[in-house]
Amino acid sequence: MSGQEKVRKELERYLPEAGGPSRSYPDLHEHVLELDRRGLLVVVDRPINKDTEMHPLVRWQYRGGIPEQDRKAFLFTDVTDSKGRSYEGAVLVAGLAATPDVYRTGFGKPLDQIGAIWIKAMNSPIPPNLVENAPCHEVVRIGEQLDAPGAALDGLAVPISTPGWDNAPYLSAGHFITKDPDTGIQNMGNYRGQLKAPRRLGMNPSVELRAGIYSHWLKYKARGEPMPCAVVVGCPPAVSYTSVQKMPENLDELAVAGGLVGEPLNVVRAKTVDLLVPAESEYVIEGFINTQLLEPEAPFGESHGYVNLQEYNAFMDVTAITHRKRPIITSFISQVTPSESSVIRKVAMEPVFLNHLRTNLGIKGVTKVAMHEPLTSLYAVIGVQFERGVPSTEVWRALYGAATLHRFAGKWVIAVDEDIDPGNADALFWAMSYRCQPQHDMRVLDKKDPGHGPKGPKDDGESASVLINALLKGDFSPVALPKKEFMERAKVIWEELGLQPLKPEPPWHGYDLGVWPAALERQAEMATRSEYFDFSDELIAGRRSDVNMNDPVEHKTNK
């Protein structure tokens, strides 16, 4: 049997069984097969220790100089731990957003359509379809059945994300579903979950103040009741993509997931809590989150690039675990960015920010929003691109709007022109250096929540946003690179020489920014024809004795 045939046979073990509820959207098993068909999957069928080897292995494709387009999803089919135990099913790491192409595969639409589809799904969610029989209930363990060895959390092949720092395996792709006890609207969010005991799961909601699980927790606490919760681990890609998105509190993420796939998402009632869960989930962990007591949780390596030290957080007492017969656990590669968790957030969050500025705030001239990814985890540096000539009032409205959409996103918010790629840090620094006068073009918005990342030593960790207008304030001389036609010709020669592939980064050619007199254009053209001595007499004729060194020569502009 060839290596490819062996891979295909291994993957086919994870195909969904016939007889489930009808749907046209892919479940996780079908998504994995599609990744394989597209050459985006690495199948590892040798034993891999989930606690010491799995995440470090996949991490290398982010820290080993591998270009983004060459990164892959990893499926581990022979999972062990440091005690030699084997685990049921498989583990998928970087399988939802290793690269934008992996994300696009799960999303099922071209990348240039994803932003518009997200906005449509949030504006027109599709309520889910309730079914009776679901794949996630193929295996059900309730109550005392969970006390058998390996029957509860101790049977889940959850890897340690940051070996050497994390104090346990943590769910990194655990989608926590809760319900507002007043409105009945469900919320689904992605939070880390520490495996603390076979029937106890940690819960860190990152103190979501505007919506979600934390506001629900406060309401149940005020009632003196534990909070029902269901945690989904592995599910159709659309559900995972929705789980990590920031939504208004009146939106049910499962309905938004339906909007993404264009049809109602299949859901089923959980076994021991009054909640609806995706029918095609791989695992569902049910239980009640204590609202009266908190206990120590962490350390855990976080996506801001530092280890989150131990703190008091909530915990869930597990009442049931259900799963498919051949389950696949998903685990996000997070921590230092770029990573899977930054890609999965970036693809969706940038269009949401752009829509907020254009539609919700009605700001004219905004063309793009880019959230810087490497090391900064998207939230710290936001670039906002504008058409040329936008009034300064609109620029400042956009900067304030981008800084306040989320409670902690936007420590540095920078406005740039359309010739500056806001996703390129070097280009941002270039614009900040030469198109900005800090005493006139910078504002500090204080009293900002520190949010995601280590808290500073002052002001109880309170942070601020720095807003920078790095737009051109008038016409400028050209960008000092060869004109486009000369760069393009040189590129042809480069390729004819068989040199390594080029990946042009803007600016890769010079262009006019409004101040380029016709006389200088003529001289430059003559120079490219090697006729630079032919206008020597013109330079002599321009001699003057009534000027100082570095005084500019006045020319008629080409306007």
The rounded distance, in Å, linking the Cα atoms of 75 and 94 is 9
pLDDT tens sequence across 248-272: 778 899 999 999 999 999 999 999 9
- Whether the pLDDT of residue 538 is over 70: the answer is yes
pLDDT tens sequence across 399-433: 999 998 877 788 899 999 999 999 899 999 999 99
- Whether the pLDDT of residue 511 is over 90: the answer is no
Question: Cβ(306)–Cβ(380) under 8 Å?
Answer: no
- Whether the pLDDT of residue 379 is over 90: the answer is no
454 — pLDDT class (breaks 50, 70, 90): low
Residue 459 is predicted with a pLDDT of 67
- Average pLDDT of the residues in 362-376: 89
Residue 209 is predicted with a pLDDT of 47
Please report, rounded to a whole number, the percentage of residues in the chain having pLDDT higher than 70. 93
Predicted TM-score of the model (pTM) = 0.82
- Whether the pLDDT of residue 466 is over 90: the answer is yes
116 contacts: CB under 8 Å, gap ≥ 6: 351
Residue 212 is predicted with a pLDDT of 82
- Whether the pLDDT of residue 306 is over 60: the answer is yes
- The mean of the pLDDT values for the chain is 89
The rounded distance, in Å, linking the Cα atoms of 173 and 189 is 10
Q: Is 141 helix (H, G, I), strand (E, B) or coil?
A: strand
Residue 507 is predicted with a pLDDT of 85
Residue 80 is predicted with a pLDDT of 93
Tokens 């995972």, residue? 240
Sign of the CA dihedral with 543 first, then 549, 551, and 555 last = positive
**Cross-strand pairs, 191:** 174
Residue 124 is predicted with a pLDDT of 95
- Average pLDDT of the residues in 179-190: 95
Tokens 């500025």, residue? 357
Residue 134 is predicted with a pLDDT of 96
- Average pLDDT of the residues in 373-383: 83
Between 337 and 292, residue with greater pLDDT: 292
Beta-strand ranges (E) seen in 405-487 are 412-417, 442-448, 463-469
The rounded distance, in Å, linking the Cα atoms of 104 and 97 is 8
- Give the chain's domains with CATH numbers: 3-331 (2.30.110.10), 361-469 (3.40.1670.10), 484-541 (no CATH)
514 DSSP 8-state letter = B
The angle at the Cα of 301, spanning 297 to 306, to the nearest 5 degrees, equals 115
Pairing of strands 90-93, 129-130: unpaired
Residue 451 is predicted with a pLDDT of 63
Please report, rounded to a whole number, the percentage of residues in the chain having pLDDT higher than 90. 57
pLDDT tens sequence across 210-237: 548 999 999 999 999 999 999 999 999 9
- Whether the pLDDT of residue 324 is over 70: the answer is yes
The rounded distance, in Å, linking the Cα atoms of 189 and 185 is 13
238 — pLDDT class (breaks 50, 70, 90): very high
115 contacts: CB under 8 Å, gap ≥ 6: 350, 351, 354, 355
pLDDT tens sequence across 109-134: 888 888 899 999 999 999 999 999 99
Instruction: Determine how many CB atoms are found less than 10 A away from the CB of residue 144.
Output: 8
The rounded distance, in Å, linking the Cα atoms of 246 and 248 is 7
Pairing of strands 90-93, 139-142: unpaired
Residue 345 is predicted with a pLDDT of 76
- Whether the pLDDT of residue 540 is over 70: the answer is yes
Q: Is 183 helix (H, G, I), strand (E, B) or coil?
A: coil
Tell me the CA end-to-end span of the chain in Å, nearest whole number.
Answer: 71
- Average pLDDT of the residues in 199-208: 81
Residue 532 is predicted with a pLDDT of 83
- Average pLDDT of the residues in 371-392: 88
Residue 7 is predicted with a pLDDT of 63
The rounded distance, in Å, linking the Cα atoms of 269 and 427 is 51
4 — pLDDT class (breaks 50, 70, 90): low
pLDDT tens sequence across 47-66: 999 999 998 898 888 878 88
58 contacts: CB under 8 Å, gap ≥ 6: 74, 93, 94, 333
